[in-house]
Amino acid sequence: MEMSIAFDSHKCYTLALVEDEEGRIIDESRIEHERGAIREYLESFPDGTPVAVETIGTWYWIVDEIEAARKVPRLVHARKAKLMSGEINKTDKLDVRGLSRLQRVGTLPTVWIPPGEIRDKRDVARTRMVFARHRTRLKNRIHATLAKYALHHFEGVSDIFGKKGRERLEGRLHKLPEHTQHTTRSSLGHLDETEKRIAALEARMEEFFEPTPEVTLLMTLPGVGPVLSVVIAWEVGDVSRFHRPQSLASYAGTTPRIHASGGKVRYGRLRPDVNRYLKGAFSEAANSICVNRKRRPERHVSRLYIRMRQRKGHAVAIGAVARTLAESTYWVLTKREAYREAQNEQARSRKA
């Protein structure tokens, strides 16, 4: 008799439902979260039984226990599963029965489960991305503070946090009001500490992460260096799970929502249920391209940024470049070839 198991997992407990191929309930139990409890529960069922579990924040150890019990974990896209279940009300029992029904009929929306080694290693890269976002927030706050008191213009300085810019910035702090000056100095100190932690994590990445063929290929992308190439490689994983470049771009959160009806098309905000680390990596690379666009004006992405910025502004231009990088990542990893500039852009450059 074939069985299927579904888990509705929470922080402190999991509601488990076991059904046969006809949908008859064999067992329904609540498992309190302790290491070994899920494994012990599953060992009474046949090896190879599929177990559906949603992508909650604590799924790592649950998947490990499912595999230790010789069952097959199936990681579920929680938002899609909720839409497909069609339930108006929400309870633990309704959720787990909806998952079980989708699994039984073969329509369960599953996502890739990276191996345990990759999950462990990419935590270093993900922590680095978290610190990088925090660094950006600190810089934006300092920029905003200077702008409030008309101290944000630095002639001949492209980056006020560089060596030259930092010296001139320190020389202007005394012009701020007393308490604002104190908080700005505190932000600068916090920024310096964050920079040190980022540098330490990047050094660890260079020490332990070997330059695989995928990482080497990704380094040929504009704006992508040794660090971001590792982040992208570990987050993308097996590129064959994406059927087209648009799928990878959507997974990376670089495509907007679209509403088309009656011949009218409206684009909305970016989707929230995406890989935020991959999105951050492509956005960081796009900002690097923005900073260096005057040094490399012949690049397709530099031209794209300038064109989109004139029409839509900086934020939309960064998003357009990030999407181009995401789609280029798909082709680079699929074809196993280094990044090449678009032929039409190269032709225009030669004519110019």
Say if 111 falls within a structural domain: no
| Per-residue pLDDT, 350 | 46
C-beta of residue 274 within 8 angstroms of C-beta of residue 311: no
Whole-angstrom Cα distance, residue 22 to residue 29?
19
| Per-residue pLDDT, 72 | 95
| Per-residue pLDDT, 69 | 95
Residue type, 220: T
pTM of the predicted model, to two decimals? 0.79
- C-alpha distances out from residue 339 to 80, 140, 218, 278, 325, Å: 34, 32, 8, 18, 10
| Domain limit, last residue, from 105, 131, 153 | 105
| Domain limit, last residue, from 177, 209, 241 | 209
Are 204 and 134 part of one and the same domain?
yes
Are 101 and 123 part of one and the same domain?
no
Say if 90 falls within a structural domain: yes
| Per-residue pLDDT, 348 | 46
Q: Which residues pair with 259 in a beta bridge?
A: 266
Residues of the chain with pLDDT under 70: 1, 343-352
Are 77 and 94 part of one and the same domain?
yes
For the residues of 306-343, what is the DSSP string, one character each? HHHHHHH-HHHHHHHHHHHHHHHHHHHHHHT------H
Are 339 and 226 part of one and the same domain?
yes
C-beta of residue 160 within 8 angstroms of C-beta of residue 166: yes
Count each helix (H run) and each strand (E run) in the chain, helices first: 14, 7
Say if 94 falls within a structural domain: yes
Q: Give the strands of the sheet with 13-20, arranged side by side.
A: 25-32, 13-20, 3-9, 50-54, 72-76
Give the structural domain span for 204. Answer: 116-209
Question: What total number of domains does the chain contain?
Answer: 3
b or e along 184-220 (b: 16 or more beta carbons within 10 Å of the residue's beta carbon)?
beebbeebeebeeebeebbeebeeebeeeebbebbbe
Are 131 and 174 part of one and the same domain?
yes
| Per-residue pLDDT, 78 | 86
Are 171 and 193 part of one and the same domain?
yes
Are 88 and 135 part of one and the same domain?
no
Say if 130 falls within a structural domain: yes
Q: Tell me, what DSSP letter sits at residue 278? A: H
Which positions ≥6 away from 22 have C-beta within 8 Å? none
Are 217 and 202 part of one and the same domain?
no
Are 327 and 192 part of one and the same domain?
no
Which positions ≥6 away from 10 have C-beta within 8 Å? 56, 92
Say if 13 falls within a structural domain: yes
Residue entry with tokens 């890989």 = 275
| Per-residue pLDDT, 349 | 45
The pLDDT tens digits of the residues spanning 95-136 come to: 999 999 999 999 999 988 988 888 888 899 999 999 999 999
Are 94 and 130 part of one and the same domain?
no
Say if 246 falls within a structural domain: yes
| Per-residue pLDDT, 344 | 57
| Per-residue pLDDT, 343 | 66
Say if 333 falls within a structural domain: yes
CATH number of the domain where residue 13 is located: 3.30.420.140
Q: Which of 144, 82, 76 is nearest to 112 (CA)?
A: 76
| Per-residue pLDDT, 27 | 93
Say if 98 falls within a structural domain: yes
Are 348 and 239 part of one and the same domain?
yes
- C-alpha distances out from residue 236 to 94, 122, 196, 208, 331, Å: 33, 11, 27, 19, 13
Are 233 and 332 part of one and the same domain?
yes
Whole-angstrom Cα distance, residue 347 to residue 352?
9
**Residue 4, φ and ψ in degrees, nearest 5:** -140, 145
| Domain limit, last residue, from 153, 179, 209 | 209
